[in-house]
A and B are shown apart, each in its own frame.
Chain A
Amino acid sequence: MTSTPARGPLSGIRVIDFCWVWAGPLMTAVLADLGAEVIKVESRGRLDNTRLGRPVIYQDIAAGDAGMAPELQPLNHGLNRNKRSVTVDLRTDRGRELLLQLAGISDVVCDNFRAGVMDRHGLGRKALHAIRPELVIFSLSGAGQWGPWNDIATYAPTVCSLAGLNTLIGYPGEAPLGRMQPPYGDTNAGLYGALAIMYAILRRRQTGRGAFIDLSQWESALSGMVEALLDYQMVGSVPSSIGNASPDLCPHNNYRCLGGDSWMSIAVGTQTEWRALCVGLGHPELADDRRFADGYLRWSNREALDAEIEALTSLRHAEELEQDLRLRGVAAARVLDIAGQFADPQLQSRGVYVEVEHPIVGAELIYGNPWRLSKTPAVVRKAAPVLGEGNDYVLKELLGLSDEEVGRLVEEKVIY
Chain B
Amino acid sequence: MADPRARLRMVELSDGSIAASYCGHVLSQLGCDVVKVEPPGAGDRLRRRGPFADDASSAIGGLAAALNRGKRVLSLDITQRAGARLFQELLSRADIFVHHLSPDAAAGVGLDSTALERSHPRLVSASVTGYGADGPYAGFRCYPINAAALGGLSVGIGRPGERPLTIPLEIGEYQAGVVTAVGILAALNAVQDVGGQGVDVSEADMWSAVHTGQNILTFLYLGVAGLRAGNHSIGQYPNSFLRCKDGFMCVNLTPLPHWLKFIEVMGTPEWTKLPRYRNRRAMTEEYPDEVDRLLEDWLMRYTKAEIFKMARDAGLPVAPALGIDEVLANEHLRARAAFEVMHLGTRDYDVPRLPFLLDPRPEPPASSVPGRPGCDTQSVLQELGVGGARLDELYELEVI
Q: Is B187 interfacial (CB-CB < 8 Å)? A: yes
Q: Is A118 interfacial (CB-CB < 8 Å)? A: no
Which residue of chain A has the shortest Cβ distance to B153 in the bound complex? A182
Interchain CB contact under 8 A, B156 and A181: yes
* A164 to B349 CA separation, bound complex (whole angstroms): 17
Contacts of B179 in A (CB 8 A): 191, 370-371
Stretch with Cβ within 8 A of A (4 or more), from B76-84, B133-141, B388-396 = B133-141
Q: How many A-B residue pairs have CB under 8 A?
A: 498
Q: Mark B311-350, 1 if CB is under 8 A from A, else 0.
A: 0100111111111111110111101101000000000011
Interchain CB contact under 8 A, B357 and A214: yes
Min distance, Cβ B185 to any Cβ of chain A, angstroms: 4
Which residue of chain B has the shortest Cβ distance to A326 in the bound complex? B140
Stretch with Cβ within 8 A of B (4 or more), from A87-95, A224-232, A388-396, A399-407 = A224-232
Contacts of B131 in A (CB 8 A): 346
Stretch with Cβ within 8 A of A (4 or more), from B35-43, B44-52, B265-273, B375-383 = B44-52
Contacts of B73 in A (CB 8 A): none
Contacts of B187 in A (CB 8 A): 9, 373, 376
* A331 to B148 CA separation, bound complex (whole angstroms): 12
* A289 to B359 CA separation, bound complex (whole angstroms): 59
Q: Mark A197-237, 1 if CB is under 8 A from B, else 0.
A: 01111110111010111111011101111111111111100
Which residue of chain A has the shortest Cβ distance to B202 in the bound complex? A350
Which residue of chain B has the shortest Cβ distance to A10 in the bound complex? B189
Q: Is B1 interfacial (CB-CB < 8 Å)? A: yes
Of residues 282 through 317 on chain A, the ones whose CB sits less than 8 Å from some CB of chain B are none
Interchain CB contact under 8 A, B226 and A165: no
Interchain CB contact under 8 A, B200 and A372: yes
* A329 to B52 CA separation, bound complex (whole angstroms): 31
Q: Is B208 interfacial (CB-CB < 8 Å)? A: yes
Min distance, Cβ B356 to any Cβ of chain A, angstroms: 4
Contacts of A161 in B (CB 8 A): 241, 248-250, 319-322
B182, B218, B336, B349: which has the most chain A beta carbons within 10 Å? Answer: B182
Residue in A182, A191, A211, A340 whose CB lies within 8 Å of B358: A211
Stretch with Cβ within 8 A of B (4 or more), from A40-48, A98-106, A249-257 = A249-257
Are A333 and B240 also in contact (CB < 8 A) when A158-B319, A171-B165, A209-B360 are? no
Interchain CB contact under 8 A, A347 and B205: yes
Contacts of B52 in A (CB 8 A): 234-235
* A365 to B222 CA separation, bound complex (whole angstroms): 13
Contacts of A336 in B (CB 8 A): 149-152, 155
Interchain CB contact under 8 A, B201 and A371: yes
Interchain CB contact under 8 A, A163 and B166: no
Are A30 and B182 also in contact (CB < 8 A) when A265-B166, A331-B143 are? yes
Residue in B145, B225, B325, B332 whose CB lies within 8 Å of A148: B332
Interchain CB contact under 8 A, B323 and A372: no
Are A181 and B233 also in contact (CB < 8 A) when A229-B350, A333-B146, A372-B132 are? yes
Contacts of A375 in B (CB 8 A): 190, 194-195, 197
Interchain CB contact under 8 A, B250 and A166: yes
Contacts of B140 in A (CB 8 A): 326, 331
Interchain CB contact under 8 A, A367 and B6: no
Q: Is B209 interfacial (CB-CB < 8 Å)? A: yes
Q: Is A179 interfacial (CB-CB < 8 Å)? A: yes
Q: Mark B139-179, 1 if CB is under 8 A from A, else 0.
A: 01111011111111111111101111111111100110011
Residue in A176, A202, A216, A334 whose CB lies within 8 Å of B355: A216
Residue in A155, A202, A235 whose CB lies within 8 Å of B252: A155
Q: Is A273 interfacial (CB-CB < 8 Å)? A: yes
Of residues 148 through 182 on chain A, the ones whose CB sits less than 8 Å from some CB of chain B are 148-155, 157-171, 175-182
Interchain CB contact under 8 A, B355 and A223: yes
Interchain CB contact under 8 A, B335 and A229: no
* A194 to B185 CA separation, bound complex (whole angstroms): 10
Interchain CB contact under 8 A, A182 and B212: yes
Min distance, Cβ B175 to any Cβ of chain A, angstroms: 7
* A358 to B169 CA separation, bound complex (whole angstroms): 39
Interchain CB contact under 8 A, B49 and A247: yes
Contacts of B317 in A (CB 8 A): 152-155, 158
Interchain CB contact under 8 A, A229 and B152: no
Interchain CB contact under 8 A, A338 and B225: yes
Q: Is B199 interfacial (CB-CB < 8 Å)? A: yes
Of residues 47 through 104 on chain B, the ones whose CB sits less than 8 Å from some CB of chain A are 49-54, 62-63, 66-67
Contacts of B274 in A (CB 8 A): none
Are A341 and B152 also in contact (CB < 8 A) when A179-B240, A248-B49 are? yes
Q: Is B367 interfacial (CB-CB < 8 Å)? A: no
Contacts of B212 in A (CB 8 A): 181-182, 338, 341
Question: What are 6 inter-chain pairs, A to B, with CB distance below 8 A?
Answer: A7-B190, A151-B312, A168-B169, A181-B229, A233-B328, A263-B154
A-B complex: 3 closest residue pairs judged by Cβ atoms: A367-B213, A181-B156, A178-B241
Assuming A78-B213, A346-B131, what are 13 further A-B pairs, CB within 8 angstroms?
Answer: A155-B254, A155-B317, A162-B327, A167-B248, A167-B321, A192-B354, A202-B1, A203-B362, A226-B352, A234-B349, A267-B145, A326-B141, A350-B205
